[in-house]
A = this chain, B = another copy of it.
Amino acid sequence: MKTLIVHAHPEPRSLNGSLKDLAVSTLESAGHEVRVSDLYAMGWKAVVDATDYGPAASSPLKVAHDSGRAFEAGTLTPDVLAEQEKLLWADTIVFQFPLWWYTMPAILKGWVDRVFTYRFAYGVGEHSDTKYGERYGEGTLAGKRALLSVTVGGPEAHYGARGINGPIDDLLFPIQHGILYYPGVDVLPPFVVHGADRLSEEDYATAAKAYEQRLLTLESTEPIAFRRQNFGDYELPSLRLRDGLEPAGRTGFGLHVRG
């Protein structure tokens, strides 16, 4: 297994730093190859702007168009090219981050905004009245798997089916489905540590043991059964889910998961 760990926390001696280190040692001890993109340590540029496309940038700037043209011409900046190369190298991608305001920290969002360019992660395949791209289950990163390893401040109940923050699976849906499944990545159920700011040594030991177990079963864990776009579940061109495919009463994001 070739694993890329994308890590987004400013403090190496944090819970997130420890979980990242644990992932590296656990996977390497099991004989796997591991590469790490430690975004803070790399000084990752978080913000998309015209400098990403050099003198060839359009004026006015068109982010999708310019990023696709630079991708195809091989003129993306070296930092972005290196991350795309790591993604193509990996068969498994682990994202380690704290949930800040119910989504990823800005530095990680900026990794997505800059690395997931047009023609690489979106705008792939035929777009016409009868087809709307190779996405949601197909695309450049098809065949790879990903795991979100996330720390959250509140207790588990706040993220339950009726919890005030909303269900954790729904909070992560825009990332797991919208960012990862979109370019073809199969997404495993997330690994979530709750009460991250109040973890005792014993709590950490329990979490670490559970995480090791998840890491050592990455290849055999069943991905979330998101529905593929181009295999009959959706009407065209609306990309509306056909009626009657879901269990009675299911609504919202859950519609896009089979079974």
Q: Bound state CA distance, A102 and B135, in angstroms?
A: 14
Cβ-neighbour of A101 out of B165, B170, B179 (below 8 A): B179
Which B residues are CB-close (under 8 A) to A254?
251-252
Q: Bound state CA distance, A209 and B110, in angstroms?
A: 33
Q: A113-B100, A116-B101 are in contact. Are A253 and B40 (CB under 8 A)?
A: no
Across the interface, do B102 and A109 meet the contact criterion of CB distance under 8 Å? no
Q: Mark A233-259, 1 if CB is under 8 A from B, else 0.
A: 010011111010000011111111000
Across the interface, do B47 and A106 meet the contact criterion of CB distance under 8 Å? yes
Q: Counting chain B CB atoms within 10 Å of each CB, which of A162, A165, A238, A239 scores highest? A: A162
A170–chain B nearest beta-carbon distance, Å = 5
Closest to A242 in B: B162
A197 in the interface (beta carbon within 8 A)? yes
A68–chain B nearest beta-carbon distance, Å = 12
A164 in the interface (beta carbon within 8 A)? yes
A61 in the interface (beta carbon within 8 A)? yes
Taken together, the copies of this chain in the complex come to 2
A95–chain B nearest beta-carbon distance, Å = 13
Cβ-neighbour of A241 out of B153, B162, B239, B240 (below 8 A): B162
Across the interface, do B174 and A166 meet the contact criterion of CB distance under 8 Å? yes
Cβ-neighbour of A234 out of B50, B161, B164 (below 8 A): B164
Cβ-neighbour of A49 out of B40, B103, B160, B167 (below 8 A): B40
Binding site for B on A (CB under 8 A): 10-14, 40, 46-50, 60-64, 100-107, 109-110, 112-113, 116, 136, 153, 155, 157-158, 160-167, 170-171, 173-174, 177-179, 197, 229, 234, 237-241, 243, 249-256
Those 10 A-B pairs whose CB atoms lie nearest each other, nearest first: A106-B110, A102-B178, A252-B252, A157-B238, A102-B174, A13-B60, A11-B61, A106-B109, A164-B239, A162-B241
15 A-B residue contacts at CB 8 Å? A10-B47, A10-B49, A13-B60, A46-B46, A46-B106, A47-B105, A48-B105, A100-B113, A102-B174, A109-B109, A157-B240, A162-B243, A166-B174, A171-B174, A250-B251
